[in-house]
Amino acid sequence: MNGVSRGPGRWWRPRSLRTQLLFWLITLHLGAAVLTAWFSFVAYGNLVHNALDDQMRLVAESYAGSDPQKLPRPMDGEAAFSRGAFIVQIWSPDGATLRATSWPVLTVPLQARPGFSDVNTGAHSGSAWRVFTAEPGSRADQPRVQVLQNEDYRRRRALRRALLEGLPITLLLPLALLILWIIVSAASRSLRAVARDVASQDERSPTELSLARVPDEIAPLVGAFNNLLSRVRSAFATQRRFVQDAAHELRTPMAAIGLQIENLRAHVPAGEATERFNQLEAGVTRAQHLIEQLLHLSRQDAPRAGHAGHASERVDIEVLLRDSVSQLMVLADARRVDIGFEGGIAAVVFAPAAELRSVFDNLIDNALRYAPEGGVVDVRLHEVDGHAVVDVLDNGPGIPKEAIDRVFDRFFRVPGAAAGGSGLGLAIARTAAERHGLRIELRNRTDGPGLMARVHLPAPPAA
């Protein structure tokens, strides 16, 4: 991308809207999940504890009130720890002797205070016990009853319950993120479509962007952009009209001046005056050339719709090059340049012939103009790496490395270049080339002095 470079943004506010949304929503969801888990842990913990306490009390009361005395069923450690089975102890009425217990391994004394208490029997795990001690009975011989339950088991049960309650929100998280991802992706797809629209604009005639698929939030931006585009378009049109009108207005008087000069030639006395006269004539020719190039340029800048006279057609490049060379033969003869054409392959391009001519005319014109008097220019149509190219080679000074990219700029001329040019030829050639899928590459020759201008032709149209 050739946009303005942007930093990565701060960690809490990344540049990407999608990352930003995902980041905050994941944080929010995780926070909500933790909070829910915590609340349900506390709430369900209490619930489970109370329910188990109630059961303990009922069991104790059922043993205390039984007559004849019900004896506890024996059990093992597995039942106590894994299944949280109640351990029932039957004590003598004075609480001094343990008469019966469901699990003799557990040695918790009868608690002094009736009701619930928590007892820790030792250092090993699973040694915390919830104890319910029943009130002494009304009869003097009534035994005392105490029921115990493993505390770890109770905690595990509460936790399991709490986790189960937190499960829906945990499952919802990936689903919510997926939906979010889809929505944000769709939105950014439509933004990318707008970007593609902008990128595919013809800079000479930008057209308004469609608002059809743009989300409401982005519509004002696209609207403002469209507004800007229409202002740019009208500024372009004004500028182009000005150049075109100016060049057009200058053309007629300049042609008249040219004619007058021609008529005057017979009356110019020999000597210094002739030399001055020749300079004057060259200046006028240069100005006429400049006006023609400007006209060409402003016509090229016109919106594509204005190219009515330049419809695309199948153009045989070899025929086109031969035409171009023979038309420029006058210039070659004037400068005694030996120009040759070599067409090794058949190549066809689908484009307006006049536009293609302006590409090759300008390159061949440059080669003839910047080659030394009596130099050599070669035009070759051949294949390189399976692609058709046209090379225009001369044996002139070439172009200094630092200027080779700038020669395509309008009005840029290499300092010290031969007089006569306007600095517009390559700009015109490049615009025409790019418009029709051709690419111009300039390289200084390595096999001697001179420049090689290579035009890469587009792949031939499908038959």
Ligand X SMILES: Nc1ncnc2c1ncn2[C@@H]1O[C@H](COP(=O)(O)OP(=O)(O)OP(=O)(O)O)[C@@H](O)[C@H]1O
Judged by beta carbon, residue 37 or residue 455, the one nearer ligand X is 455
* β-strands 338-343, 376-384 pairing: parallel
With 0-12 CB in 10 A as exposed, 13-18 as middle and 19+ as buried, what is 381? buried
Should residue 150 be labelled a site residue for ligand X when binding is judged by CB under 6 A?
Answer: no
Q: Which residue number, 158 or 414, has a Cβ lying nearer to ligand X?
A: 414
Q: Minimum CB separation from Mg ion for residue 255, in Å?
A: 22
Kindly state whether residue 424 participates in binding ligand X, applying the rule CB under 6 A.
yes
Closest separation in Å from C-beta 361 to ligand X: 9
- Give me the least distance between CB of 279 and ligand X, in Å please: 19
Cβ atoms 151, 108 nearer than 8 A:
no
What is d(CA 127, CA 201) in angstroms, rounded to the nearest whole number?
79
What number of other Cβ atoms are within 10 A of residue 169's Cβ? 18
Task: Find the binding residues for ligand X in span 251-290 (CB under 6 A).
Answer: 289
Minimal distance in Å, beta carbon 244 to Mg ion? 21
Contact (Cβ atoms closer than 8 angstroms) between residue 144 and residue 91 = yes
Measured between alpha carbons, how far is 57 from 115 in angstroms, rounded to an integer?
A: 9
169 or 392, CB closer to ligand X? Answer: 392
Q: Tell me which DSSP letter residue 433 carries.
A: H
Q: Binders of ligand X among 52-111, rule CB under 6 A?
A: none
Q: How far apart are CA 114 and CA 107, in angstroms?
A: 18
Minimum CB separation from Mg ion for residue 285, in Å? 14
Least distance CB 397 / ligand X (angstroms)? 6
CB 418 within 8 A of CB 287: no
Of the residues 433, 451, 455, 457, which one makes contact with ligand X according to CB under 6 A = 451
Q: Does 396 bind Mg ion (CB under 5 A)?
A: no
- Work out whether 398 is an interface residue with Mg ion (CB under 5 A): no
Report the residue number, 197 or 292, with the smaller CB distance to ligand X.
292
Q: Which does 297 bind (CB under 5 to 8 A by kind): Mg ion, ligand X, none?
A: none
How many Cα neighbours within 13 Å face the side chain of 220? 1
Q: Which does 423 bind (CB under 5 to 8 A by kind): ligand X, Mg ion, none?
A: ligand X
Distance CA 436, CA 357 (A): 12
Q: Where does this chain touch ligand X (CB under 6 A) — which range of 17-25, 241-249, 340-348, 393-401?
A: 393-401
CB of 414 to Mg ion, least distance (A): 11
Question: Total number of residues binding Mg ion (CB under 5 A)?
Answer: 3
Of 4-12, 68-76, 262-270, 407-415, the segment contacting ligand X by CB under 6 A is 407-415
Count of residues touching ligand X (by CB under 6 A) = 23
Residues 25 and 184: their CA atoms lie apart, in Å, by 12
Q: In whole angstroms, what is the distance from residue 216 CA to residue 122 CA?
A: 69
Minimum separation from the CB atom of position 278 to ligand X (A): 20
291 contact, one of ligand X, Mg ion, none, CB 5-8 Å limit per kind: none
Site for Mg ion in 347-366 (CB under 5 A): 366
Told to check if 366 binds ligand X by CB under 6 A, we report yes
Mutual orientation of helices 425-435 and 353-370 as an angle, nearest 10°? 150
Strand intervals (E) in 54-176: 87-91, 98-101, 115-120, 128-133, 144-150
| Nearest distance from C-beta of residue 22 to ligand X, angstroms | 52
Cβ proximity to ligand X, 54 vs 405, nearer residue: 405
Query: Helix 272-301 crosses helix 425-435 at what angle (to 10 degrees)?
Result: 20
425 contacts Mg ion (rule: CB under 5 A): yes
What residues form DSSP beta bridges with 9?
A: 14
How far apart, in whole angstroms, are the C-alpha atoms of residue 443 and residue 97? 112
Is residue 293 within the footprint of ligand X (CB under 6 A)? Answer: yes
What is the residue-wise DSSP string for 255-294?
A: HHHHHHHHHHGGGPPSSHHHHHHHHHHHHHHHHHHHHHHH
Q: Pick from 426, 438, 440, 457: which binds ligand X (CB under 6 A)?
A: 426
**HSE (CB half, 13 Å, CA atoms) of 355?**
26
Straight-line distance from the first to the last Cα atom of the chain, in angstroms, rounded to the nearest whole number = 35
Interface with ligand X, residue 151, by CB under 6 A? no
Residues that bind Mg ion (CB under 5 A): 366, 421, 425
Binding residues (CB under 6 A) for ligand X: these are: 289, 293, 362, 366-367, 370, 394, 396-399, 407, 413-414, 417, 421-427, 451
